[in-house]
Structure 1
Amino acid sequence: MAMELRALFLLPLCFPGLQGQAPEALRLREGDTLYIQCPYAEGTLDYQTKYWCLLKDGKCQELVNTYSKQFSQDRRIKIDDDARTKTFSVTMVALKAEDSGTYFCAIYKSYYDYSRLRTISLIVFRELLQWELDTLTVQCPAGSGAWCRGQADCTALVSRQRSSKQSEIKSQRDRVTMQYHAQGPLVTMKNLQIQDSGVYWCAPGDSRHTQKMEVVLSVFRRTQKLTAKESGTVSVQCHYKIADYSTASKAWCKREEGKTCSVLATTRSESPAANSTAREGVRIQDDTQQGIVTVTMEQLQVQDSGVFWCALQDGSGLLRMEEVTLSVSKALPRGGFPDSGSQSQDDLLGDSCSGNTFLVLSVVLLLLLLLALLICIALGVRYYRLLLRTGVREAEDTSDRAEGTAQPGSPGRRESSQDDSKGPAYINLDVQSPPSPEDPLYCNVELSQAPRNPQHVEYAIIAFNPPPRAGRE
């Protein structure tokens, strides 16, 4: 960072009129696109060449310009000039971590004389996602001499020693190494753990405040969740890379809050470590041919619930391979209710009653539905039969009326004269029982046949339409 600040300090001396301009900081992910617009003054001539420069050793390293933009060495960089808006734009696609640096857009005035318009401090970080126990390999740019961790200040995990002629320098942590090559040092981090997540960067050997390449590392743990019943058995399988860890010792430990992971079983032939709490019923087997560690726990108890690790076991301690969360629940005895260790019998009885009540209500509703269906069917059949009976009676009444009955219930019949058109119609009534003098008699008679002084007179007029005649003879 100091060299970069010194270069920025020399800019006003190399490029007049740059005083008071501070670089804009941009932070982009590898693979993103950088788009910059650089407006220029109205008096700028159209033929004046516009440049996109990388600040290097206090000078402009020309990357692309509007005069020979088609001859740009890096095809990822394009420049366009809009004379109407007095603005030229720069686009950098498919950014790489090696593109990090200080850039500026400028207008050429004379020999080695540029008028800078806008300065960009660009950081392109490489985002890496790894699993625990994976190996991270990073190729640093040429000129790098240290592998640092931290957002601003460098905490060197490994660095190149000027007085050393070794080609490989190991840090205090054996998991981080640096190998030096012509194209730049190669950094390797083994046995990654979740706490290794963070920001790393390559720095020059003489200045650990200048970032040459930044890496954002995220390490994820492999997890499993298992459930089991009390007095039962659970089996767990953990996978590993055969080439890296087939010869390493494996362990099964339980993680306690605020404590180290207590070893319950190990593949070591010697006695367990000092923090071991090995107990009966826990077995561990290592299949080095397939890279699988199998752990079996028998006669489980509720207190066995917790967080466990499949881990590598070496001199520095335990390195987690996978994290297993185990939940052991109480088993129901033959009576159907557990003891009052974790849940009261009343609570369990209430839960059971709630389930039984729901079942009973469901059965009752089903029976009511079936009963209602049967009632509807019975009513439908009865109504159908009633309709049939009504139809028969109507048919009988119709036949009786067709015979000329004058009074309902009377067995009279209609007789007509041979020629209905010549006179009134007559109705003969055959009364089976002698009528009472008080009963009215209905008939149509000639006026001459009517009694002189009738006591009761009731009138009835019966008209019949003449039947159609087939024809006249």
Structure 2
Amino acid sequence: MELRVLLLLLLCFPGLQAQIPDAEERQLEGSTLYIHCPYTAYAEHEHQKAWCRTGERRCEPLVETTYPTQSPYINQARRGKVTLEDDPVRKTVSITMTNLQAEDSGTYYCAYRSYSYRYLPLKIISLNVFKELHKWELDSFSVQCKYSALVRSTDIKVWCRRGQTACKIWLRTDDPSTRTNSKDLADRGLIQDDTHERTVTITMEKLQAQDTGVYWCALYRDFRPTRIMEVRLSVSKRTQQYTAKKSGNVSVQCAYSAPDYGAVSKAWCKEGDDRKACTILVTTNSKPSGYGRTPQEGRVTIQDDTQQGIVTITMEKLQAQDSGVYWCALYEHGQLLRMVEVMLSISEILAGTTLSGTAGTSQATPSGDAPALSSNVNTFVILSGVLSIVFILALISLITLCVRRRKQLKRRGNRQAEHTYDKPEDIAQLDSTERMESPKDDSKDLKYVTLNFKSRPIPEDPLYCNIEPSQAHRKPKDEDVEYAIIALKQLPTNDKG
């Protein structure tokens, strides 16, 4: 019943065909569309199937079967990038459109051909093929919108930004004196209509992150825009991140296209807490109107190398309140257009410089403090000092050991020369000692000494030595040798000196 009512409406009022879609399909350029249209038994055998694109009042078939489907075989037709398959078993027409482009946007329907050779819709589709653009700040883009031959050359074409309830017009072809009626796009947008090629060209320059959004190239009829093509624009910021030491300096470099912006004034400004305004601190030309005194005045300098396309900002004697978000920006016509966003953090003690960002981040090292190099030098000095102290202590310990060892050896030699052992079966420790006296009579061969030892219970193997009594005072002509037999293990020394 509903299908019959819809068919009657479409037949009696063909202009309603584009106003009553059964479904809306949104597809990115280059993607593929798949549509399935079921039908009743009435259209099963005796009718041809087609995929149409609607014009003002009629169906323009893109592809259709050449003969009615004979069950149970699938009837297939193909033309260009569109394929149609009619499956009588499932009673379904399937359409495939590949490599979609923005100009494919429009209203389509699956249809069967009646006995009166009119195309009757099975399912109406509103197809929106959109462009997707990814840009950086200060980039430009240009898009072309092709419109139908049914569109008059005198029709107004517009470029509008899609909101929740309406599309706000930014550019229009009937207002050539002003390139834009939007303050946000002052001198940054242009629309041109080539009526011979039936193409509208939109150009946007000096893009900013706030330009991100959904746009329509549209016809302006009945005081409202009707979409020709949709563009989804994404604009990303270039960012730098710095950490600097309090009372130190920091230097920031921002690159730009020298041919495009070399002659434009540059500015350095600081964002407010609300992130809605940026207070100008310094510019490359004379002070702008309304330029007030700031806490950074006298501590900020700016230099612009228009040949290389690099603007350099230096901030000196940094304070804690200098932390915040800054812009390197173009400054023209009293407006700021951000080139690079800089996030600056001021710390009491700087352990190192943080430099980070996402794709598109401009990487530069602050030249004011060179904190990373300073950190490496400090580490090297500390390590060298520790190693020097360790070396000196090791040298002192070695010398001390050598002196002590020499004294031990000297005392041990004297004791072995002065003592004899009385009982070979015992380990003895000297209890009392009688020194050998100097011989008064050189004619005697031997001298005897009696020694008393404390005996130790552990027997040890005897140790034999032949020594010369160097302690005995003799004349050089006396070459007689005195012998002593000592049987003991090396006695433990009692170091007192």
- Taking the aligned partners of 1:12 and 1:263, their CA distance within structure 2 comes to 65
Which of 239, 247, 260 matches 1:223?
239
Tell me what 1:262 maps to: 279
Shift in Å at residue 66 of structure 1? Answer: 2.0
Tell me what 2:256 maps to: 240
Distance 1:59 1:169, change over 3 A: farther
- Taking the aligned partners of 1:95 and 1:271, their CA distance within structure 2 comes to 52
TM-score, normalised by the number of residues in structure 2: 0.59
Please state whether the residue corresponding to 1:238 is helix, strand or coil. Answer: strand
Tell me what 1:175 maps to: 188
- Taking the aligned partners of 1:311 and 1:8, their CA distance within structure 2 comes to 60
Which of 83, 92, 115 matches 1:87?
92
Within the alignment, does 1:138 sit opposite 2:154 as a pair? no
The runs of at least 4 aligned residues of structure 1 exceeding 6 Å deviation read: 7-10
1:305-320 matches, within 5 Å, as: 305-320=323-338
Which of 285, 288, 298 matches 1:280?
298
1:56-455 matches, within 5 Å, as: 56-67=55-66, 72=79, 75-142=80-147, 143=151, 145-151=157-163, 152-161=165-174, 170-172=179-181, 173-181=186-194, 182-183=196-197, 184-207=199-222, 208-258=224-274, 260-268=277-285, 270-276=286-292, 277=294, 279-331=297-349
Query: Identity over the aligned pairs, expressed in percent?
Result: 46
Structure 1, 222-231 or 273-282: larger mean CA deviation: 273-282
Structure 1, 35-44 or 219-228: larger mean CA deviation: 35-44
Tell me what 2:72 maps to: none
Tell me what 2:52 maps to: 53
| Amino acid in structure 2 at the alignment position of 1:203 | A
- Taking the aligned partners of 1:9 and 1:200, their CA distance within structure 2 comes to 36
Shift in Å at residue 195 of structure 1? Answer: 1.4
Shift in Å at residue 127 of structure 1? Answer: 1.4
Shift in Å at residue 169 of structure 1? Answer: 5.9
Are the equivalent residues in 2 in contact too, given 1:263–1:273 (CA < 8 A)? Answer: no
Shift in Å at residue 115 of structure 1? Answer: 2.4
Distance 1:212 1:64, change over 3 A: same
Please state whether the residue corresponding to 2:241 is helix, strand or coil. Answer: strand
Shift in Å at residue 71 of structure 1? Answer: 6.3
Post-superposition Cα deviations, 1:250-304, rounded to whole Å, max 9, x if no partner, equal: 0111112136312222111x23442343612322111112211111112211211
Are the equivalent residues in 1 in contact too, given 2:139–2:206 (CA < 8 A)? Answer: yes
Distance 1:21 1:318, change over 3 A: closer
Larger radius of gyration: 1
- Taking the aligned partners of 1:188 and 1:316, their CA distance within structure 2 comes to 22
Please state whether the residue corresponding to 2:227 is helix, strand or coil. Answer: coil
Shift in Å at residue 325 of structure 1? Answer: 0.3
Shift in Å at residue 192 of structure 1? Answer: 1.3
Post-superposition Cα deviations, 1:152-190, rounded to whole Å, max 9, x if no partner, equal: 5232111122xx7x6x86123321111222331211111
- Taking the aligned partners of 2:169 and 2:192, their CA distance within structure 1 comes to 15
Tell me what 1:408 maps to: none
| Amino acid in structure 2 at the alignment position of 1:229 | K
- Taking the aligned partners of 1:8 and 1:55, their CA distance within structure 2 comes to 15
| Amino acid in structure 2 at the alignment position of 1:171 | T
Are the equivalent residues in 2 in contact too, given 1:53–1:106 (CA < 8 A)? Answer: yes
Shift in Å at residue 80 of structure 1? Answer: 1.2
- Taking the aligned partners of 2:43 and 2:272, their CA distance within structure 1 comes to 71
Tell me what 1:41 maps to: 40
Distance 1:220 1:9, change over 3 A: farther
Distance 1:8 1:123, change over 3 A: farther
Are the equivalent residues in 1 in contact too, given 2:111–2:120 (CA < 8 A)? Answer: yes
Post-superposition Cα deviations, 1:61-113, rounded to whole Å, max 9, x if no partner, equal: 111112297562xx221111222222120011121121111110011113442
Post-superposition Cα deviations, 1:378-415, rounded to whole Å, max 9, x if no partner, equal: xxxxxxxxxxxxxxxxxxxxxxxxxxxxxxxxxxxxxx
- Taking the aligned partners of 2:320 and 2:8, their CA distance within structure 1 comes to 68
Q: How many corresponding residue pairs?
A: 316
- Taking the aligned partners of 2:279 and 2:20, their CA distance within structure 1 comes to 59
Are the equivalent residues in 1 in contact too, given 2:21–2:126 (CA < 8 A)? Answer: no
Shift in Å at residue 58 of structure 1? Answer: 2.1
Q: Which runs of 5+ in 1 are unaligned?
A: 1-6, 333-473
Shift in Å at residue 35 of structure 1? Answer: 0.4
Are the equivalent residues in 2 in contact too, given 1:169–1:178 (CA < 8 A)? Answer: no
- Taking the aligned partners of 2:118 and 2:8, their CA distance within structure 1 comes to 17
| Amino acid in structure 2 at the alignment position of 1:49 | Q
Post-superposition Cα deviations, 1:105-129, rounded to whole Å, max 9, x if no partner, equal: 0111134422211111111221111
Q: Which runs of 5+ in 2 are unaligned?
A: 1-5, 68-75, 351-497
Are the equivalent residues in 1 in contact too, given 2:250–2:315 (CA < 8 A)? Answer: yes
- Taking the aligned partners of 1:180 and 1:169, their CA distance within structure 2 comes to 15
RMSD across aligned positions (CA): 2.7
Please state whether the residue corresponding to 1:280 is helix, strand or coil. Answer: coil
- Taking the aligned partners of 1:34 and 1:227, their CA distance within structure 2 comes to 51
Distance 1:289 1:190, change over 3 A: same
- Taking the aligned partners of 2:202 and 2:339, their CA distance within structure 1 comes to 22
- Taking the aligned partners of 1:9 and 1:99, their CA distance within structure 2 comes to 28
- Taking the aligned partners of 1:24 and 1:12, their CA distance within structure 2 comes to 20
| Amino acid in structure 2 at the alignment position of 1:238 | C
